[in-house]
Structure 1
């Protein structure tokens, strides 16, 4: 697999930066044109490839008005069409869930899944409605990126050992040389992102060549529960990434205070502008309401959070050949009303980074990642299966008379959920609750644990692990 690496420019010349910024701005027009023509449902339904779009633009002369080199706008078209395809693929995930909710007939489900995969959803009224509901028309807001093809750039090291990256500019045969702070030359297709006077060079490398990919994985099956105060808690009772909660909370509190001060300054500037004192309003906006420092602080915070989460996942994989975790691609809704501070901190919760780290590290190091349905794993006792009373990070089980650490209890339940024959990955949460309550009632009335239904008994025999087989 491939992983992305980032190299940064070092003491970039303002003139070179301005030339690259102008090129990125023009290529932003290219992206906007692609999204305008092909980002809607009708445009997606046309089924055009990026090569067909480029051929059409060459035939009708659309490319002339962008005033950029051919390779630059062609690579931008390819990248924008890939973004549109990703947008459609994300919508199809929601449509598949709608199909599962709509019908339980295997033949009808297969027909709908096949039509959706083959992009023939327009002829089916239900699929068409669902695609129009979930595939929203996108708009381009990217005007700071340049895609450079692999054979269009080169690197050289000067006498002082500094690495220079040469990329095409707006004029033919005139390269723009960028000094890099890295000693490793970027390879393959590059994505240049211009932020705050600095150029970020994004490129991909083979993950198998990384040192972390050479570390062997463990030999056991481990269940993990994601959290806020720590990144992960495993079924052995070990907490990983214990600094995550402190990082998120301190950053949330800092942003609250900073945004309060910025809002006050913005109010003063607006009042001065209404009064006619435009010079004062301009000074405040230029000197006190900039975004360069803010963006760099946000980037540093994101980097620290990613490091904490990836380190936690590596610690789990060190002892796990199979990592069992909840499906982090699902949306979670809660009925409990929380305070503003709690909502702000939870809004910064990095569920997506955790999902990325679990997938990335498991694949690179050779361990298996098994997603399971985690409904009610944090509310039931792993020892007796009854619903307990959750209070903070404690779960009180009235039947066992034990107080469990909530995250450890949830991790053990997630580990057991992988072998549950009745609770599949996409079983609705209300059905999961009913299954758990039925099991509790059987234990309380001393009935046999197995279901009396022959169909259920056959399903248990044929599918001992429904969760790992679900997709």
Structure 2
């Protein structure tokens, strides 16, 4: 705990003073940038853990003065002084793996590019020997600028660098002028409150990749078992060398991730084309499931890319000038948007027993998300039990104003709305 709040400069000066840096065997710029990178990762993980700790504090006590005291200690990184906060941080601060073993950070003044006689672009970075540069051929005509991150993956060098979002072509696209609610899903990336589905290929991409990985991992496990149990050492070495490698696997995974990101970002752009304000559900709070699913369903849902969808909503909204508003996600996919009562969901349909209507589930959830915008009773941090109580009270009040349900006397406008939402499935 004594290292909490340390900065990279303090660690660097300590290593320089006691001679620790002499054991690294690399140039000073290399290990200093690696140290700064590792310390930044630690700080990011620590700040992410504080989000969960703040939620736990709100659940722990309703005393405003006690909450303020705990928040102050947490913000100042003095949580080690309080036993309760220390216990929470140990629970939420998950220690990650250090990823500096295959990458290095190069400052903007430590690299330069050149073009050879054949028109190819090369990047020159400092090597491990002083005054000797390592030249890397690039498969692009755009020279990287600023601070670079070089990652050695699968026998190739990846060069990562930042660009200004203002310079991106998508930043010049204007946003719409309406308020639109969206529901994040598996089959489609997004469904808006107007009944439009965006990113319809997402479910197929995830399902095909999940089933392919299941079959491939089954075959790899069989080969690994043969290699571990055989007495023929040459055969075991051939299997590990030719059949259990990771280069092709990592390349396929990167290609799949790129396809998924493209599908999700394209879907978000289509939503922002019509929306000045995008209302989305906050999925950082998890809820217990209501029943067990099959192994295949659990495996496919485990690959659900809600994190990529959240990232796309945030980035695209910021670049194009649209506002992103998060609302409480409790029961948005289970309640009827018209009467507020909880229905029965079956696949992509929601059966409302009170209204007697079958809604398209994703469209119904998007409308509920839109209704949560500026809801005076259900805020972002309202506990889900309280949300359910509020919804039941509203449904009871709505039920007392309704006549006895009779499908033969349903109003024409109501019937048309039901038909429209049912046709969206």
Give the TM-score normalised by structure 1.
Answer: 0.83
How many residue pairs get aligned? The number is 402
> Which residue of structure 1 aligns with residue 130 of structure 2?
172
Q: How does 1:131-150 map to 2 (within 5 A)?
A: 131-150=89-108
Contact 2:38–2:100 (Cα < 8 Å) also in 1: no
Distance of aligned partners of 1:76 and 1:226 in 2 relative to their CA distance in 1, 3 Å threshold: same
Contact 2:279–2:373 (Cα < 8 Å) also in 1: yes
Kindly state the Cα deviation for residue 355 of structure 1 after the two structures are TM-superposed: 0.7
> Which residue of structure 2 aligns with residue 309 of structure 1?
264
User: Paired residue for 2:196, among 231, 238, 247?
Assistant: 238
Q: Which runs of 5+ in 2 are unaligned?
A: 403-425
> Which residue of structure 2 aligns with residue 357 of structure 1?
312
Is 1:423 the equivalent of 2:378? yes
Q: Distance in 2 between matches of 1:379 and 1:78?
A: 47
Q: Distance in 2 between matches of 1:443 and 1:60?
A: 74
Q: Distance in 2 between matches of 1:349 and 1:385?
A: 28
Q: Could you list the per-position Cα deviations for residues 133-177 of structure 1 after superposition, in whole angstroms to 9, with x for gaps in the alignment? A: 222444435410111111100011223221111111101111101
Kindly state the Cα deviation for residue 442 of structure 1 after the two structures are TM-superposed: 2.1
Q: Distance in 2 between matches of 1:134 and 1:413?
A: 31
Is 1:198 the equivalent of 2:153? no
Contact 1:328–1:352 (Cα < 8 Å) also in 2: no
Distance of aligned partners of 1:42 and 1:334 in 2 relative to their CA distance in 1, 3 Å threshold: farther
Q: Distance in 2 between matches of 1:382 and 1:194?
A: 51
Contact 1:225–1:411 (Cα < 8 Å) also in 2: yes
Is 1:405 the equivalent of 2:365? no
Q: How does 1:103-114 map to 2 (within 5 A)?
A: 103-114=61-72
Aligned partner of residue 363 in structure 1, secondary structure: helix
Aligned partner of residue 3 in structure 2, secondary structure: helix
Contact 2:34–2:100 (Cα < 8 Å) also in 1: no
Q: How does 1:181-192 map to 2 (within 5 A)?
A: 181-192=139-150
Q: How does 1:234-383 map to 2 (within 5 A)?
A: 234-272=192-230, 275=231, 277-383=232-338
Is 1:42 the equivalent of 2:2? yes
Kindly state the Cα deviation for residue 121 of structure 1 after the two structures are TM-superposed: 1.6
Greater relative contact order structure (CA < 8 Å, 6+ sep): 1
Q: Distance in 2 between matches of 1:138 and 1:145?
A: 16
> Which residue of structure 2 aligns with residue 394 of structure 1?
349
> Which residue of structure 2 aligns with residue 155 of structure 1?
113
Q: Which runs of 5+ in 1 are unaligned?
A: 1-40, 448-471
Q: Could you list the per-position Cα deviations for residues 352-389 of structure 1 after superposition, in whole angstroms to 9, with x for gaps in the alignment? A: 10111010000111100000001101111111111111
Q: Distance in 2 between matches of 1:221 and 1:444?
A: 29
Q: How does 1:88-127 map to 2 (within 5 A)?
A: 88-127=46-85
> Which residue of structure 2 aligns with residue 457 of structure 1?
none
Q: Distance in 2 between matches of 1:65 and 1:357?
A: 43
Q: Distance in 1 between matches of 2:52 and 2:316?
A: 26
RMSD of aligned alpha carbons: 1.3
Q: Distance in 2 between matches of 1:331 and 1:278?
A: 48
Contact 1:155–1:165 (Cα < 8 Å) also in 2: yes
